[in-house]
Amino acid sequence: MEKRPNRKFAYKQVYQRIHSAILQGILKPGDRIPSARTLAKEMGVARGTVEEGYALLKAEGYIESKGQAGTLVSQDIQDPSTVKKAIATSRQPGFMSEIQVSDIMPFQLGIPALDAFPKQTWSRMTARCARNTHIDNLVYPSVYGIPELRVAIAQYLQLSRGVQCQPTQVFITSGYVNSLKWISKVLLQPESYIGVEDPGYPLTRRILENNHFNVIPVPVDEDGINIPNNDKIAAVIVTPAHQSPTCVSLSLNRRQMLLEWAETNQSWIVEDDYDGEYRHTGLPLPALKSLDTQDRVIYSGTFSKVLFPSLRMAYIVVPQKQVSNFEQCSELYAGNVSGLIQSSVLAFMQEGHLARHIQRMRKLYRERRELAARLFNQILGDRVSIEPQSGGMHMIVKLNDPKSDDMAIAEKMMKAGLFSQALSQWSSRPIHPSLILSFTNIRTEEECLKLISQLKDIGI
């Protein structure tokens, strides 16, 4: 049986609990603290004991009563030497460097242009969906994804990416990690050999190795991934629209060869179409899945790049003959996206907002990349080179001095508050020193000039 606090000292425990939360920045000026009645029940003490602790906090100026508004942390506590602010940190998916959650770091990868996202329209969608919630919407959502959204995604893929599929082939997931785990669990045997692009997204390798698969690097050249020459490879994971990170597009000839390889070897191709909508020149290339006549391609898409990452929603399109196998495994890997979020995305798509937003982003990203590339070449001159690319959300900045240490430079940038990844970190073989930098959130020429000046100070 849990021991109740000693009444003689219980008020001090009340004081210390609130006092510590304020000093650590967990409770901030203006935040409401629990009522004496509520906290008394939580701590198992008398209400008068809590009020005694609160009285001590008020006397020291930490909290103040605001009548019906309740008891709040005092607005006068703003001296940094008095209050230590709590900083929540997180890691950019796939990397070790810690960054502050509240800030978008300059050049940060994987973040769309959030300043251009139609927040008011999205707010109206979500508010309307919340108001129209019925009792039937309060139960567990389908583990496959709400039916109407699966239909909308199937329609969207057919029109925009050339992927012909039935809604039953579409499954909603909570992101790329969830998608890849689900696909590998259903289609592959433990310790299977899986080919990954080299250079390629480090998180992919980590997911596979963590799930006890054998990872085989497959070189990438100017035409995209090479055809695997290892007969043991049961699947390959590719980014054909804009290879991650080189941004080259998988050529038509290489696409056909890869599909033939998969059919001949009865292997699988996982197509990660993470930013296939964003092509800077000409129309977006059709998805690799659109050429698949033998049902060997599993298509993986996400809303993180076309909407925003905190949505945590993605989807996969599986071969028709594998639908029942994915359904049988669905309770382990699906159902992780709230019904309200799914309904909001559905409304956003049905009313045409998604298509319009993508069109605007294509133009914006082309402009922002051209601005960044022009100023990099203008200011850093012969130190770097930036080759043209057909699309994507980041650029490769090649360091012209072949002796440069791109990993050391990337580390200096991170310490200076600039996000960076060295191309060497993405490859298992020697590669020309380069930096992988995103341009999506560089909004103005003035901002870009300031960032490049910081790079000069670092020593690029």
Q: Render pLDDT for 12-71 as a digit per residue (tens, 0 to 9).
A: 888 888 888 888 778 888 888 888 888 888 778 888 888 888 888 888 888 888 877 788
Q: Is the model's pLDDT at 250 over the cut of 80?
A: yes
Q: What are the strands of the beta sheet with 384-385, ordered from one edge?
A: 384-385, 394-399, 434-438, 421-422
Q: Is the model's pLDDT at 101 over the cut of 90?
A: no
Q: Is the model's pLDDT at 414 over the cut of 70?
A: yes
Query: What pLDDT is recorded for position 88?
Result: 47
Over residues 195-220, the pLDDT tens digits come to: 999 999 999 999 999 999 999 999 99
| Those residues with Cβ within 8 angstroms of residue 329's Cβ, 6 or more apart along the chain or in another chain | 182, 185, 186
Q: Tokens 């990872």, residue?
A: 215
Query: What pLDDT is recorded for position 67?
Result: 78
Helical (H) or strand (E) element with 216: strand 214-221
CATH 3.40.50.20 applies to domain 119-354 = no
> Letter for the amino acid at 77?
I
Query: How does strand 224-225 pair with strand 214-221?
Result: antiparallel
First vs last C-alpha separation in the chain: 64
- The answer to which of 76-85, 253-262, 267-276, 424-433 has the lowest mean pLDDT is 76-85
Q: What is the pTM of this model?
A: 0.83
> Which CATH class, in words, describes the domain spanning 7-73?
mainly alpha
Torsion over CA: 145, 269, 390, 376 (sign): positive
- The answer to which of 31-40, 123-132, 141-150, 266-275 has the lowest mean pLDDT is 31-40
Q: What is the DSSP letter of 426?
A: G
> Letter for the amino acid at 343?
S
Query: What pLDDT is recorded for position 375?
Result: 95
Q: Is the model's pLDDT at 275 over the cut of 80?
A: yes
Query: What pLDDT is recorded for position 6?
Result: 52
Q: Is the model's pLDDT at 144 over the cut of 70?
A: yes
188 vs 211: CA distance, rounded Å: 11
Query: What pLDDT is recorded for position 13?
Result: 85
Give the confidence band of 178 by pLDDT, cuts at 50, 70, 90.
very high
Average pLDDT along the chain = 89
CATH among 3.90.1150.10, 1.10.10.10, 3.40.50.10610, 3.20.20.70 for 89-113+361-458: 3.90.1150.10
> When comparing pLDDT for 282 and 330, which is higher?
330
64 vs 265: CA distance, rounded Å: 72
CB 34 within 8 A of CB 21: no
341-363: average pLDDT:
95
How many Cβ atoms sit within 10 Å of the Cβ of residue 68?
A: 4
Residue ranges per domain, the chain?
Answer: 7-73, 89-113+361-458, 119-354
430-458: average pLDDT:
94
Q: Is the model's pLDDT at 311 over the cut of 80?
A: yes
Over residues 355-373, the pLDDT tens digits come to: 999 999 999 999 999 999 9
